[in-house]
Amino acid sequence: MSDNENLETAVADETLDVLGEICPYPQLYTKKKLEKMPAGSILEILTDHPPAAEETIPGYCKQKNYPFVVTKDGAVYRIIVKKTR
């Protein structure tokens, strides 16, 4: 099972609710939150802004080499990120 598959069922250490926020705020708040979290932590991000869920937050995670998974339930995206360093 890959890291990303494990993340789908992982229990988050913290949740960041950015529902109602539009770019660039979801990604900026995600970056600030992850910077404060220790390595190995799992962050759950809730957003309803498709560009944040499909582009900016995943792009940031790829840049940092943080494993992540994105799921969608109705209009709400749930992004689970593991801070690896």
> Which residues belong to the active site?
23
Instruction: Residue 78: count other Cβ atoms within 10 Å of its Cβ.
Output: 17
Task: Characterise 81 by phi-psi region: left (phi > 0), alpha (psi -120 to 50), beta (else).
Answer: beta
- Cα separation, 49 vs 43, in Å, equals 18
3-class secondary-structure state, position 9: coil
